[in-house]
Copies of this chain bind each other. A is one copy, B any other.
Amino acid sequence: MTFRVHVRVMPRAGLLDPQGQAVEHALGSLGFAGTQQVRIGRAIELELDAATADDAAGRARQMCDRLLANPVTEDYELEVEAR
Q: Chain A: residues with CB nearer than 8 A to chain B?
A: 4, 6, 8-10, 23-24, 26-27, 30, 32, 34-49, 59, 62-63, 66-68
Q: How far is the CA of A30 from the CA of B63 in the complex (A)?
A: 9
Copies in the complex: 2
With a 10 A CB-CB cut-off, give which of A24, A32, A43, A66 has the most chain B CB atoms. A43
| A34 lies within 8 A of B46 (CB) | no
Q: How far is the CA of A46 from the CA of B36 in the complex (A)?
A: 6
| A41 lies within 8 A of B42 (CB) | yes
* Minimum distance in angstroms from A53 CB to a CB of chain B: 16
| A38 lies within 8 A of B44 (CB) | yes
Closest 6 A-B residue pairs measured CB to CB? Answer: A43-B43, A38-B46, A41-B43, A8-B43, A37-B47, A36-B47
